[in-house]
Structure 1
Amino acid sequence: MKAIEVGNHAPNFMVKDINDQNLSLADYQGKKVLLSWHPLAWTPVCTDQMRALENNWQTFQKLNTVPLGFSVDPPPCKKAWATAILMNNVSLPSDFWPHGKVAQAYGLFNEAQGVSERANIIVDENGIIKWVKVYPSQQLPDINEVIQVLSNMQM
């Protein structure tokens, strides 16, 4: 499966967040959205990836960007994890059921492992894919690179 390409319309989705509330890409029209995919909660690299989003929350706000931390973990698991790693601002939507449906729509579902790839996708204010980067599963994405891409979009 090949990741979605820059220039495509981002597939809309309806998923549950950690508070069992519906969350849709369409909810964020007029803002940029960072879809930050991690394979599984409770793992060291995934924890560091999500903490980097949380630690840069104010920067994302200044860049008119909503970061979302996606994985296939069920909402109760993600809620316990969010509490454990002190996630207070960044939403952690669940792509649990139908299992991996959103990851599949974005070309990020790893069928063999039943999880998403590790990836960052930036969607602009009009729902167009502006940046895609897929990482080896054990590599922590460089948050400064993501922020630089978002900053360059401001110009």
Structure 2
Amino acid sequence: MPDQFGSTIHLAEVSRRSAVILVFFPFAFSPVCGDEVRALDDLGQTLAAESAPIEVIGMSVDSKYTLAAWSSERGLRLDLGSDFWPHGEVAKSYGVFDADHGVAERGVFVISQTGTIVTSRQVARTETRDFSVDVAQARALRG
């Protein structure tokens, strides 16, 4: 899937290098998503600097251009995957696509280096997530 920087995110390749925290959110430029993305960006930088890094990837159905504008406006370094076309295909594959509204739900998946989903959870669209439980699960994968 494309990211906001013009590169392609290959989740299978990323998960071979490190554990992954994959975070779905409905839309860029929306209130709750804006609150969360700053925390995710900081968290991603912290986890990437650890001796056994953990990759944090955000994902929405926004176009890569929308994600690029949002990323630039907020000064983000976090990879944001665009699940724009085919619309919501990745979110559908993880079971977090709301077809009635055409958006990804607020799902979080911790993925091991073997590509196995270790934990997953979903919260209401209006709820801001605390990612500490996901970080603990990803760190536990290191042994």
Q: Report the TM-score when normalising by structure 2.
A: 0.92
**Distance in 2 separating the partners of 1:64 and 1:79:** 24
**Distance in 2 separating the partners of 1:137 and 1:53:** 16
**Distance in 1 separating the partners of 2:55 and 2:65:** 22
Instruction: Return the match for 2:37 from 35, 40, 50.
Output: 50
Find the counterpart in structure 1 of residue 94 from structure 2: 106
Find the counterpart in structure 2 of residue 12 from structure 1: none
**Correspondence 1:1-155 to 2 at 5 A:** 15-28=1-14, 29-61=16-48, 62=50, 63-88=52-77, 90-155=78-143
In structure 2, the gaps of 5 or more residues are none
State percent identity of aligned pairs: 30
Any conservation in 1 of the 2:21–2:138 contact (CA below 8 Å)?
Answer: no
The range that moved more, 54-63 or 100-109, is 54-63
Q: CA RMSD in A?
A: 1.3
In structure 1, the gaps of 5 or more residues are 1-14
Aligned length: 140
Structure 1 segments (4+ residues) deviating >6 Å:
none
> Could you give the per-residue CA deviations for residues 63-108 of structure 1, whole angstroms, max 9, x where no partner exists?
52111110000000000001111102x1001000000000011111
Q: Report the TM-score when normalising by structure 1.
A: 0.85
